[in-house]
Amino acid sequence: MDGAVRDVDASPLALLGISDAEERVYRALLKRHGGSAAVIADDLAMTPDETSELLDHLESLGLGTHTPESPKTYVAVEPELAIDALIKQRQRTLEQARTVVPALADTFAKASANHAGQQVTLELISTRARLESVLSRMMESSSKEILSFQKAPVLVPATRSIGVAAGARGIRTRTVSDESHLKLPGKLATLVEDIARGEEARTFSTLPFKMMIVDRSIAIITLESQRPEAPTLLIHRSALLEALCLLFEFVWEKATPIVTTRDGEVKLGPDGNGHAIESAKALIPLLSAGLNDKAIAQQLNISASTLNRRIGDLMSIYDARTRFQLGLQVARLSDIAPRSSP
């Protein structure tokens, strides 16, 4: 996390405004169920005045109360009640903060309209902590799709769990991995798990850089591919971002789909039964009509190389040696899965 974020080793209670010293006093109070400031101070080797001040603050937070007698006897409130109440209070506070978002967004929109030529398109991210923070926020805020180029070394390993959560929210995720990424220890097994969760994965021989695009509105790319600590660029909505989206779609079209069989074996080819059958149903009538490859490619709005790759993939899947055999196999097996599909 960056400097503005609390240390990851800090107590979870610190998120509720409870200091380490106050947590120690509260835990001591829980062990005794109750006690005076002097007794708790003796347990913790603290001064009675300091302990009394901490106990009063815990009482103001709802974590304790005291008897009317003198000296006061402090009693801890059950954690299930006290902590839950603090969490709900914090949630209400955060929801109140959300109400200012429309006004701030309106201010930003007006400023953007007035300074259209002065918008910041690029931001340089030079530290690993800052990169991890930005990537986490990008993925957590995703609502439609995540596109990524993956190559070694891994950009930020800690963000994978957030990516899994994004997939669980129904965010469409498409990744293209090159050979260097797939050779990393454990990456193939991880990829199998991600595909099982719904990720669409393809592989391409070599990628120019590591990249992640979220909702086609913000992206991150590496400036150097080989160094894990290399600076990265944060790219906001702009012509450059549109170009990166086009680059992804171009590579995605050329890349080879990665699918898995029922026993978890990884295979390269058309991505799933439906895709293979639909590709075959689109191609076979055109082949049967006697159209040449150029005409078929124009009809399907794909390149000649993509057409050849699709025909080759289908011939492999349907165990056909010629295009004529492919047509016969598809006609016979169009209602069932091809032999090498999952």
Q: Widest CA span of the chain, in angstroms?
A: 102
What would the DSSP string read from start to end of 148-204?
Answer: EEE-SSPS-GGGHHHHHHHHHTT-EEEEEE-HHHHTSTTHHHHHHHHHHTT-EEEE-
- The rounded distance, in Å, linking the Cα atoms of 212 and 219 is 5
- The rounded distance, in Å, linking the Cα atoms of 238 and 240 is 5
Give residue 227's pLDDT: 65
The counts of H helices and E strands in the chain are: 14, 12
Give CA 274 to chain center in angstroms: 27
Does residue 2 carry a pLDDT above 50?
Answer: no
> In what helix (H) or strand (E) does residue 146 lie, and over which residues does it extend?
strand 145-150
Q: pLDDT (tens digit, 9 = 90+) per residue, 184-238? A: 888 888 888 888 888 888 888 888 889 999 999 999 998 876 665 678 899 998 8
The SS3 of residue 19 is: coil
Higher pLDDT, 181 or 274: 181
Token pair 């609390």 in the structure block, residue? 6
- The rounded distance, in Å, linking the Cα atoms of 299 and 318 is 23
Going by pLDDT thresholds of 50, 70 and 90, the confidence category of residue 8 is very low
Residues of the chain with CATH 1.10.10.10: 1-119, 273-333
Residue closest to 43 by CA, chosen among 54, 31, 53: 31
Higher pLDDT, 146 or 11: 146
Residue closest to 229 by CA, chosen among 159, 134, 135, 132: 132
Does residue 269 carry a pLDDT above 80?
Answer: no
- The rounded distance, in Å, linking the Cα atoms of 213 and 148 is 6
Residues of the chain with CATH 3.30.870.10: 122-259
Q: pLDDT (tens digit, 9 = 90+) per residue, 278-324? A: 566 677 677 766 678 888 888 777 788 878 877 877 776 666 777 77
Does residue 275 carry a pLDDT above 60?
Answer: no
Please state the pTM of the whole predicted model.
0.49
In this prediction, what percent of the chain has a pLDDT beyond 90? 10
Residue closest to 55 by CA, chosen among 23, 84, 87: 23
Burial class (CB within 10 angstroms; exposed 0-12, middle 13-18, buried 19+) of 100: exposed
Topology at the third CATH level for domain 1-119:
Arc Repressor Mutant, subunit A (1.10.10)
Count CB-CB contacts under 10 A for residue 76. Answer: 22
Q: What CATH class has 122-259?
A: alpha beta
Report yes or no: 266 and 319 within 8 Å, Cβ to Cβ.
no
| Residues contacting 5, CB < 8 A, separation 6+ | 133
- Residue 110 in tokens: 């007006």
Give residue 114's pLDDT: 61
Least confident interval from 9-13, 48-52, 212-216? 9-13
- The rounded distance, in Å, linking the Cα atoms of 33 and 85 is 19
Could you give the dihedral angle defined by the CA atoms of residues 166, 171, 172 and 178, in that order, rounded to the nearest 10 degrees?
-20
Topology at the third CATH level for domain 273-333:
Arc Repressor Mutant, subunit A (1.10.10)
